[in-house]
Amino acid sequence: MNKLSKHVGSVVAVIIGLIGVLLVLYVWQLPPFTSAVQRTNNAYVRSKITFIAPQVQGHVVEVLVTDYQEVKAGDLLARIDDRIYVQKVAQAKANLAQQQAALATAAQQRASAEAQVTAAEASLNAARVNNEVAKREFDRLTTLQARGVTSQSDLDNARASFDQASANVNTAEAQVEIAHQDVLAAETSRGSAQAGIEAAEAARELAQIDLDNTRILAPEDGRLGEIGTRVGQYVSAGTQMMGLVPHRAWVIANFKETQLHGMKIGQQATIRVDAADGQTLTGHVESFSPATGNEFSVLRTDNATGNFTKITQRLSVRIGFDQDQPLADRLLPGLSVEVSIDTDQPVTAD
């Protein structure tokens, strides 16, 4: 009887041991209980949080929003004292008007220079005619003086008139060249004035941009975080005033490298939300990180030094929420979730 009891006890102990081993294998999803469904609780809701900062400096004169307020794209969030920037715009406009006046003056100078060219060319033509008349008179008197018909004094006077007419032609030609140079100078002044106008217009646009930037606007729809600015505070370019969280969110799930086999873009994922009392949502795998988290860390592991211990790495997988899920609108960046993906499921093309 004692032998039978011992035998039964041994069998029971073996059975209990086998059950324990099987239970451990099941819990750790080891063969023969390996499942195609890969799970991880190393997953969080993510979103593109925009930190709003001014592009100009000055005192905050108005804050029109409160903590955690819902806003639309283009809503006015805060205003910076704009008096200096208003005057800069006025100054830029005055400078532009001055440059436009300079351009008008340059245009008038060119027109005047072109008129001077016309007058100088007319004077040159008259001088050439007078020179031709003086030359003919000199030639005639030269012939007559050779025949003894005219006096030497008349010939000398004709020579002087001819020389004077020739000099007048040279002077008129020089005046024409000067007039042409005046036209070129006027054209250069016109180009300089045109460049001045373009520079003044750019300065006016920059001044207007600075003035517009005194109004801090919401870049997109979303909810604000804590408002970090107050009326009277002096802010400069880059000062963080508040954060804006857009409505679009997704999940970053960090799977072990041993779980990635068979995982593909487009596969459906089940997302269990801790903050929603375990309610689930559905989504799809959108993309995989190009490297493990260790490669993106500031201090990467150097396995070529010291003793080596293999550590299973994790790869980030981005999962987008399916549409028309009311619970998805309540998810906030940073919340913890649990993600399950059946790696055996086929991927259907869109």
Taking the chain (350 residues) in consecutive chunks of 10 residues, what is each chunk's mean pLDDT? Answer: 63 78 66 74 92 95 94 95 95 90 76 72 73 71 67 69 74 75 72 82 94 95 92 93 92 92 91 87 93 81 74 92 85 91 74
Longest CA–CA separation in the chain, Å: 182
Which residue in 213, 220, 182 sits closest to 85, CA to CA? 213
pLDDT at 32: 62
Asked if 251 and 319 touch (Cβ cutoff 8 Å), the reply is: yes
Q: Is 50-81+214-244 a domain of CATH 3.30.200.20? A: no
Give the CATH fold of the 83-212 domain: Helix Hairpins (1.10.287)
pLDDT at 310: 82
Residue ranges, comma separated, of all CATH 2.40.30.170 domains in the chain are: 29-47+248-342
Separation between Cα atoms, residue 189 and residue 175, nearest integer Å: 21
Q: Tokens 């609780």: give the residue.
A: 41
Residue ranges, comma separated, of all CATH 1.10.287.620 domains in the chain are: 83-212
pLDDT at 340: 93
pLDDT at 235: 94
pLDDT at 314: 92
Residue ranges, comma separated, of all CATH 2.40.50.100 domains in the chain are: 50-81+214-244
Q: What is the CATH number of domain 29-47+248-342?
A: 2.40.30.170
pLDDT at 27: 62
pLDDT at 184: 73
Total residues belonging to the chain: 350
Separation between Cα atoms, residue 132 and residue 118, nearest integer Å: 21
Element of type H or E holding 183 = helix 152-212
The CA angle 166-168-173, to the nearest 5 degrees, is 100
pLDDT at 28: 61
